[in-house]
Chains A and B, each alone.
Chain A
Amino acid sequence: MRALTAARPSGAAAEPGPARPAGQFPAALTVVGFLALGLLALPIVGLLQRAPWSALPAVLGESEVLEALRVSLIVSLVATAACVVLGLPLAFVLARRRLRFGRVVRALVMLPMVLPPVVAGTALLFALGRRGLVGQWLDSWFGVSLPFTTAGAVVAAAFVALPFFVVTVEAALRQAGDDLDEAAATLGAGAWSTLLHVTLPTIRPALAAGTALAWARAVGEFGATLTFAGNFPGRTRTLPLETYLALERNPEAAVAISLVLMAVALAVLVTLRDRWMPR
């Protein structure tokens, strides 16, 4: 009991209002909690203290880095676009249709979030590879081969990023319900008109958040890309792959690219601050 009393701020007793049980936990948790915070902060500090600030423009201007940046932008943006185009209908199906195996379907949708990326890449290879389940037909009918191409890198990035968009948008659709859709219908709006003029504007914050999350995941994709799309400069070598290679060749470049990727992540966090960051 003494420890509990001691943990309270001394002024608390004088304050009006009910006594709050918050803060009544073993003091040791506070210590470990701050250690964990250190674990999260330390790598960032490590990166920042090694940052070649003055040489940054030169390092980032290297042709290999620019090439990887170009590939990363193309791959991540096309993958994000695919996530929006495919994910929006999927989110509607999950939120508005009563599915027979709803739990199974939802688990399937979320699987890429928890799957090791290298497993995702391997699975993609056996599905869409030249001898894969679907890939063999793509190859023999259309002459399309995805592995080790930019398109393959897009597929890998979209596969891992899609759930982030779907889960965010589905939650918003559920929360919005169909009250406003009904109101629109009584005012003469058909299904497409309602979607365009009511439903989508209503969930706009979630659309933005889902897109930002999916893009952040696509930009950072490494394992599935390497496994399924390989590591070809100018085609599939994205910034994360370039970072990994640069660690051997030119650590300064690795640090510089890492800083860029971290800035991207921070920018996404700022975009999401109202939704995901408690005040």
Chain B
Amino acid sequence: MTVSFDGLVARSGWTLRVDGLEIDEGVTAVVGANGTGKTTLGRAVAGLDRLAGGRLVIAGSVVDDPAAGAFVPAHQRRVGLVFQDLRLFGHLRVIDNVAFGLRRTGTDRAAARQRAGDLLERVGVDSGVWSKRPTALSGGQRQRVAIARALAPEPEVLIVDEPLASVDSSGRAGLRALIGESPARHTLLITHDPVDVATLASRLVVLDNGAVASRGSVAEVTARPGCEWAATFLGANVVPGHAQGTSVTTGAGLVLTVASEAEGPVYVTFPAHAVTLHRDRPAGSARNAWQAELERVDIDGERARVHLAGPLAVRADITRRSADELELRPGLTVWASLKATELTVVT
């Protein structure tokens, strides 16, 4: 079963063109700079925006084909959408927000509430707030309610638009796990957070300027990002670790020094161009230095992307000239270094 999207969506003065996009089962991340059409893609799949041309097929049924006059409205599509601005119903209690979709599809009130309660429990919303209005909840709690509400009618496709944008750092890990466990057959994760991609997505769609710039498995797209924005975005290194003050201990025991303090499990992210390579042990201020084995070098125009193994599997972008000067080749042992100020700690 796939979602197959081949068409264009026209909004005032702007179009999104999608050529032969096949979205397989599992979690697919849709990434791209702001205003490249990520949200529009989601809205078209959900049936909130109509195609101006082309064809959209979900699990074998044509849901939008303007040339054939076919259009299945949003409420008949079985596509759940967690809006970036959540859009919880202010006039309904938390539990009735979650029960809403079940009630509309004919489930009686008691059964719908029962199921809504199960879902709220699963997403970790305490039963003490089930009878409150959504406005009484924190941002993270509201996000959980929105996910539970979208999952309640058991959609074939779940679209989650920037799920962590409105959540403070303490709730992120839990929410991420929640999206990873999504029971929907297809999950479209619209994001511009490299950690989301690294931890959740098996496949990637890169949108650039209203068109698909690249798509495929995370590894495939990382190798051919298709646009400058995605190259930088996907070059970002995401390293899990355990923080204690300004020290983060990574999996293999290497300790990174970071600029901001944190406690507990974290991700350290840094762009590929922040990694510096040396043949000998670097002197000077870069305290985060380690010896790594060089796995591969990809040359792309003037840029060389160096893949390192060793205590940290990271990517380093250097100029082609430096790569030549360093005489880099697979199997070589090099020194890598990072400035603490280049590191971002995400919980």
Contact assessment for B104 and A189 in the assembled complex, using a CB-CB cutoff below 8 Å = yes
Contact of A185 among B74, B78, B92 (CB under 8 A): B74
Contact assessment for B149 and A180 in the assembled complex, using a CB-CB cutoff below 8 Å = no
Shortest Cβ distance from A27 into chain B, in angstroms?
45
Contact assessment for A183 and B87 in the assembled complex, using a CB-CB cutoff below 8 Å = yes
Q: B79 interface residue, CB < 8 Å from A?
A: yes
Q: How far is the CA of A12 from the CA of B208 in the complex (A)?
A: 57
Q: B100 interface residue, CB < 8 Å from A?
A: yes
- B76: chain A residues at CB < 8 Å are 188
Shortest Cβ distance from B5 into chain A, in angstroms?
17
Contact assessment for B85 and A179 in the assembled complex, using a CB-CB cutoff below 8 Å = yes
Contacts A183-B89, A187-B149, A187-B150 given; indicate if A197 touches B74 (C-beta within 8 A).
no
Contact assessment for B91 and A202 in the assembled complex, using a CB-CB cutoff below 8 Å = yes
Contact assessment for A198 and B89 in the assembled complex, using a CB-CB cutoff below 8 Å = yes
Shortest Cβ distance from B181 into chain A, in angstroms?
20
Contact of B104 among A179, A197, A201 (CB under 8 A): A197
Shortest Cβ distance from B184 into chain A, in angstroms?
13
Q: How far is the CA of A201 from the CA of B90 in the complex (A)?
A: 9
Contact assessment for B150 and A180 in the assembled complex, using a CB-CB cutoff below 8 Å = no
Q: B117 interface residue, CB < 8 Å from A?
A: no
Contact assessment for B90 and A202 in the assembled complex, using a CB-CB cutoff below 8 Å = yes
Shortest Cβ distance from A202 into chain B, in angstroms?
6
- B85: chain A residues at CB < 8 Å are 179
Contact assessment for A180 and B87 in the assembled complex, using a CB-CB cutoff below 8 Å = yes
CB neighbors of A among B75-98 (8 A): 75-76, 78-81, 83, 85, 87-92
Q: How far is the CA of A110 from the CA of B79 in the complex (A)?
A: 42
Contact assessment for A179 and B87 in the assembled complex, using a CB-CB cutoff below 8 Å = yes
CB neighbors of B among A23-40 (8 A): none
Shortest Cβ distance from B119 into chain A, in angstroms?
13
Contact assessment for B91 and A184 in the assembled complex, using a CB-CB cutoff below 8 Å = no
Q: A193 interface residue, CB < 8 Å from B?
A: yes
Contact assessment for A187 and B101 in the assembled complex, using a CB-CB cutoff below 8 Å = yes
Contact of A187 among B47, B90, B153 (CB under 8 A): B153
Give the interface size bracket for B toward A.
Answer: 20 to 34
Q: B322 interface residue, CB < 8 Å from A?
A: no
Contact assessment for A197 and B48 in the assembled complex, using a CB-CB cutoff below 8 Å = no
Q: A49 interface residue, CB < 8 Å from B?
A: no
Q: A190 interface residue, CB < 8 Å from B?
A: yes
Q: B73 interface residue, CB < 8 Å from A?
A: yes
CB neighbors of B among A178-225 (8 A): 179-180, 182-190, 193-194, 197-198, 201-202, 204
Contact assessment for A180 and B75 in the assembled complex, using a CB-CB cutoff below 8 Å = no
Contact string, B39-70, partner A, CB cutoff 8 A, digits 1/0? 00000001110000000000000000000000
Contact assessment for B91 and A204 in the assembled complex, using a CB-CB cutoff below 8 Å = yes
Q: How far is the CA of A193 from the CA of B103 in the complex (A)?
A: 10
Q: B105 interface residue, CB < 8 Å from A?
A: yes
- B100: chain A residues at CB < 8 Å are 184, 187, 189, 197
Contacts A193-B104, A197-B104 given; indicate if A183 touches B83 (C-beta within 8 A).
yes
Contact string, A144-184, partner B, CB cutoff 8 A, digits 1/0? 00000000000000000000000000000000000110111
Contact assessment for B91 and A186 in the assembled complex, using a CB-CB cutoff below 8 Å = no
Shortest Cβ distance from B56 into chain A, in angstroms?
15
- B152: chain A residues at CB < 8 Å are 187
- A198: chain B residues at CB < 8 Å are 89
Contact assessment for B74 and A182 in the assembled complex, using a CB-CB cutoff below 8 Å = yes
Contact of A186 among B80, B88, B103 (CB under 8 A): B80
Contacts A183-B83, A185-B48 given; indicate if A190 touches B75 (C-beta within 8 A).
yes
Contact assessment for B104 and A186 in the assembled complex, using a CB-CB cutoff below 8 Å = no
CB neighbors of A among B1-56 (8 A): 46-48
Contact assessment for B150 and A186 in the assembled complex, using a CB-CB cutoff below 8 Å = yes
Query: Quick one: closest B residue to A179, CB to CB?
Result: B87
Q: How far is the CA of A201 from the CA of B100 in the complex (A)?
A: 14
- B79: chain A residues at CB < 8 Å are 186
- A190: chain B residues at CB < 8 Å are 73, 75, 104
Contact assessment for B74 and A186 in the assembled complex, using a CB-CB cutoff below 8 Å = yes
Shortest Cβ distance from B135 into chain A, in angstroms?
13
Contact of A189 among B46, B75, B88, B150 (CB under 8 A): B75
- B47: chain A residues at CB < 8 Å are 185-186
CB neighbors of B among A68-102 (8 A): none
Contact assessment for A185 and B75 in the assembled complex, using a CB-CB cutoff below 8 Å = yes
Contact assessment for A186 and B81 in the assembled complex, using a CB-CB cutoff below 8 Å = yes
Contact string, A122-155, partner B, CB cutoff 8 A, digits 1/0? 0000000000000000000000000000000000
- B105: chain A residues at CB < 8 Å are 188
Query: Quick one: closest B residue to A198, CB to CB?
Result: B89
- B90: chain A residues at CB < 8 Å are 202
Contact assessment for A180 and B48 in the assembled complex, using a CB-CB cutoff below 8 Å = no
Shortest Cβ distance from A93 into chain B, in angstroms?
20
- A179: chain B residues at CB < 8 Å are 83, 85, 87
- A188: chain B residues at CB < 8 Å are 75-76, 78, 101, 104-105, 153
Query: Quick one: closest B residue to A203, CB to CB?
Result: B91
**Can you name 9 A-B pairs with beta carbons within 8 Å?**
A183-B88, A184-B100, A185-B73, A185-B74, A187-B80, A187-B101, A188-B101, A190-B73, A193-B75
Closest 4 CB pairs between A and B?
A187-B101, A185-B74, A183-B87, A201-B91
Seed contacts A187-B100, A187-B101, A197-B104; 13 additional CB < 8 Å A-B pairs: A183-B81, A184-B75, A185-B48, A186-B75, A187-B104, A188-B78, A188-B105, A188-B153, A190-B75, A201-B89, A202-B89, A202-B91, A204-B91
Interface residues of A (CB under 8 A from B): 179-180, 182-190, 193-194, 197-198, 201-202, 204
Interface residues of B (CB under 8 A from A): 46-48, 73-76, 78-81, 83, 85, 87-92, 100-101, 103-105, 149-150, 152-153
